[in-house]
Amino acid sequence: MAASTSAPERKELAALSSDTGGFVGFLTYDLGMAEAASQCYQQAAEAALEAATSPPGPTSADR
């Protein structure tokens, strides 16, 4: 992800990417494209790992 985004923004983008990748993987598998679905799930898992290991952002009370 771009270096111009803050750590909390990268964490949120990675989580969104993970959710989206999982959904696209589901839809792709449902269309009978198992290999493409597997790639989507792999990318979703990588994004989820990034989101889980990124430093936490400010809470809503901090804003």
Domain ranges of the chain: 9-52
The confidence score (pLDDT) of residue 22 equals 96
57 exposure class (CB count in 10 Å sphere: 0-12, 13-18, 19+): middle
* Over residues 34-38, mean pLDDT: 97
To the nearest whole number, what is the mean pLDDT of the chain?
88
The confidence score (pLDDT) of residue 5 equals 79
Residue 2 confidence class, pLDDT cut points 50, 70, 90: low
Q: Please, which residues have CB within 8 angstroms of residue 15's CB and are 6 or more apart in sequence? A: 47, 48, 51
Residue type at position 55: P
- Residue 56, pLDDT > 80, answer no
